[in-house]
Structure 1
Amino acid sequence: MSDPTQPRSPTPGDDWPAPDLPRGRTFPAQLLLAADLLERITEQGLPADRSLQRELAARRKMGRRDRERVRELTLFVLRQRQVLDWLLDDSAASMAARVAAALSLADALDPVLAEVAGLTPEAAASLARRRAGRFASLPWTVRFNLDPAAAAQWQAWQPDAPETLARALDARAPVDLHANPRHGDRDALIDELAGAEIEARGIAGLPLGVRLERPARLTRLPAFEAGGFEVQDAGSQWVVRALQAQPGERVLDLCAGAGGKSLGLLDEARGQLRLTACDLHPERLDRLRTRTQRHGDTTLELRALDATQALPADLAGFDRVLIDAPCSGSGTWRRHPELRGAAIDWDGLAETQCQLLERGSQATRPGGRLVYATCSLWPAENEAIVEAFLARHPSWTATRPTLEGLPDDAVTPDGWVRLRPDRHGCDGFFIACLQAPGDRPTA
């Protein structure tokens, strides 16, 4: 008699997603650990990547394959939660049950694991029956792993090639680096990585961009300790390049966070900027301060402030202003799958984005350039915010970016930049380049 917890062999068209598990069996302790990590990540709103790195590194007695199995199961559940809940026919399923459903998609669920996960024999049999259907017949919101709020945003946008985009958002993101040209050119960094048995290649269109062929430990490398590179997605690097900051200019990074784009701006101009980085959270600026010390940039000015409020008088007259606005993060779901189910105050977020754009425009000199960017896919956080700003300020103009190497299909008919993981190999980003009124325009 066949095991009722095991799905039948797939037939053509049963293109179900499945976790990429290392060889060997999954033990109950690993299932329960993945479930525990999932509960903490979702309940406490923790970043999945950092949480997994910290928690798994602390389990020194755990083998490499076992750690990778727990990591893969945890991330798979975060990415495929809607699919797993459909299989379980339970939108409030326990995390242990979701891990069991993930194992079933890998043909790795046995009766012991099903019992440990709290699945009754009847529930396990139901799971197997639902798994026997065609994945393509599931509702699109389930296939795309969209909760109701995200589904509404997706439907409002109506992207072309939606299936391809949805699959890309479920995939594992690559590891990208931004080379520091003051340490050596990109080829020298690639050679140094090769010496550490880390395969890497340049990223098309990004002179300082490097992509690893597979994930690797980087923080102990001499090149990292010497400030030779920073980890930075290719999409973020395009945001930096969109500002087109020139040596000697005053530049304001109004929402700097931990400063990846600030460091990128300095690298692009080989350190020859008068750069001010601001953020609401002082602890983020503390991290940036540590990074700048390693990077070799000691003249960067750091300011902790609420940029939705009136800015200090001295924060004015900047040649270029970058607003990397807080957003839903939907474009980063590959890296941060925990954001798929995050509760979002859409009205409050839009108000913050509008206020930041207003403050940024006030800090831009006549003729200067302002770049508004998000790592969101949703027009409500992108085009809608910028178009409302331009309607309030008709003397400002949107400028079509002229960035060498930028894919033609990344620029919309309206002149915005839209980067998609399925087409451009980076996180999803929106970039708007705006020109302040004045007779001394930036280049």
Structure 2
Amino acid sequence: MRLHRNLVYAVIDGLDKIFNEKEYADKVVEKLLKRDKRWGARDRAFIAETIYEIVRWKRLYTVIAAVNPPYNRDNLWRVFAVWAVLRGHRLPDWKQLEGTPVRRIKGKFDELSQTRKYRESIPDWLDELGVQELGEELWEKEIHALNEQANVILRVNTLKTDKKTLKKSLAEEHIHTQELKGLPDALVLEERANVFKTEAFKNGWFEVQDASSQLVAPFLQPEPGMRVIDTCAGAGGKTLHLASLMENKGQIVAMDIYGNKLHELKRRSRRNGAHNIETRVIENSKTIKKLHGKADRVLIDAPCSGLGVLRRNPDAKWKLQPEFLQQIRQTQQEILQDYSKMVKDDGLLVYATCSILPSENHEQVKTFLNTDQGKQFELVKDKKILASQSGFDGFYMALLKKKPTK
């Protein structure tokens, strides 16, 4: 593809906001794509994919370009030139790309590719942590898989349609999909496309949700008529899945500490035709206390490092800090202690994260089961999903059952 100046300028502007102003890549890209109405689908794809690719390989590309933060415009052009050379683009005769050392870039790439922290473009501390938690061989495979571009996967909203009808509707708009084995409500796009502009999306026929994430709600075994609490609901991807599985019968209490996320969930619920969801902002411990022993099912989709979803959030590896990991492990344990009190006798609890680290996953469950509160529960089963084995996001989920009171 020939490089177009206005598209490349958009990429440079986006990188400036992400690298220097520390803005989130997805928000930056979303804003940028609205800049010029004349841009077609290919133009938009070039901007989005180039930005994500440079963010993903930031360490490798900046070392090859020999630039350090803060990254001024000249530095960002040098980083872009590295991307262009390594992707085989013919460099246009632009002032900003004059004197690009093509042979040196290729040579430096070959040299740095011998070392994992450069080859997979990750901070030193993260590479050390990965080895420590997963072992050298598994970490090597996992971080490689997490650097691959994620597929776009849809979850059919069974409250409004079925898989066959959705598949046909999307095909009419030239978006072709395949079914996924073992996931009854999933469709994967054959080619990336803007699904949010489709008639099917406006009608609430589907949500975009990774395959691993689609396993969480069924793992909780919700049934129509039950009272289910989604304790860290956020904008409600899993809440909406629970509503579908419950056929709009019973009650789902969707809770979060962030009211703006629950506001977004309400909007999505209306589009999905999900009528059994009640939202509650967790303002203090009283919000939880009111629900002690009241739920048949409780989902804790816990805040975590997010290392399992690096394929779709590549900037997370640059924002994440070791101190945050220490804090989040403590938060996870506190949440397990407090929110598990909402489960009825014989009720079920799922603890889930989008992390691949044992310290956030089965070790947290093990610690919990050895506490006074945790001794009221037994582990039924757990599931560890690695990107290198599944081809999808890294995830963990544990199903716990509350023992009846003697």
The two structures have a TM-score, normalised by structure 1, of: 0.82
Shift in Å at residue 237 of structure 1? 0.6
How is 1:230-379 mapped onto 2 (pairs within 5 angstroms)? 230-306=207-283, 311-344=288-321, 345-379=324-358
In structure 2, give the amino acid aligned to 1:151.
D
In structure 1, give the amino acid aligned to 2:107.
R
Residues 96-144 of structure 1: CA distance to partner in whole angstroms, max 9, x if unpaired? Answer: 322221112123364855x626x866x766434313x35652x112122
Residues 353-402 of structure 1: CA distance to partner in whole angstroms, max 9, x if unpaired? Answer: 111111221111122111111111122221232221112133422112xx
Task: State the match for 1:158 in structure 2.
Answer: 134
In structure 2, give the amino acid aligned to 1:97.
R
Task: State the match for 1:412 in structure 2.
Answer: none
Residues 201-259 of structure 1: CA distance to partner in whole angstroms, max 9, x if unpaired? Answer: 22211111111112222233332222221111111110111111111111100000000
Give the counterpart of 1:170 among 139, 144, 147: 147
Alpha-carbon spacing, 1:44–1:248, altered in 2? closer, same or farther (3 Å): farther
Task: State the match for 1:96 in structure 2.
Answer: 77
Task: State the match for 1:397 in structure 2.
Answer: 378
1:434 aligns with 2:400: yes
Alpha-carbon spacing, 1:155–1:162, altered in 2? closer, same or farther (3 Å): closer
How is 1:67-216 mapped onto 2 (pairs within 5 angstroms)? 67-92=44-69, 94-108=75-89, 110=91, 112=93, 116=96, 126-131=104-109, 133=110, 136-137=113-114, 139-158=115-134, 160-216=137-193
Contact 2:380 2:401 in 1 (8 A): yes
Task: State the match for 1:24 in structure 2.
Answer: 2
Shift in Å at residue 166 of structure 1? 2.8
Shift in Å at residue 58 of structure 1? 2.2
Task: State the match for 1:423 in structure 2.
Answer: 389
In structure 1, give the amino acid aligned to 2:176.
E
Alpha-carbon spacing, 1:387–1:177, altered in 2? closer, same or farther (3 Å): same
- Give the number of aligned pairs: 397
Contact 2:112 2:118 in 1 (8 A): no
Contact 1:49 1:335 in 2 (8 A): no
- Partner-residue secondary structure (3-state), 1:207: coil
- Partner-residue secondary structure (3-state), 1:294: helix
Residues 152-179 of structure 1: CA distance to partner in whole angstroms, max 9, x if unpaired? Answer: 3211222544444333212221111111
- Partner-residue secondary structure (3-state), 2:328: helix
Distance 1:418 1:309 in 2: 33
Shift in Å at residue 190 of structure 1? 1.2
Residues 317-349 of structure 1: CA distance to partner in whole angstroms, max 9, x if unpaired? Answer: 211111111111111111111112113312221
In structure 1, give the amino acid aligned to 2:319.
A
Contact 2:152 2:210 in 1 (8 A): yes
In structure 2, give the amino acid aligned to 1:270.
E
Contact 1:79 1:170 in 2 (8 A): yes
Distance 2:185 2:172 in 1: 19
Task: State the match for 1:410 in structure 2.
Answer: none
Contact 2:298 2:348 in 1 (8 A): yes
Contact 2:220 2:297 in 1 (8 A): yes
Alpha-carbon spacing, 1:252–1:157, altered in 2? closer, same or farther (3 Å): same
The two structures have a TM-score, normalised by structure 2, of: 0.89
Contact 1:189 1:228 in 2 (8 A): yes
Give the counterpart of 2:17 among 10, 16, 40: 40
Unmatched 5+ residue regions in structure 2? none
1:386 aligns with 2:352: no
Residues 55-103 of structure 1: CA distance to partner in whole angstroms, max 9, x if unpaired? Answer: 1232223454443332222111111112213323445464332222111
Distance 1:172 1:64 in 2: 18
Alpha-carbon spacing, 1:225–1:69, altered in 2? closer, same or farther (3 Å): closer
- Partner-residue secondary structure (3-state), 2:275: coil
Identity of aligned pairs, percent? 28
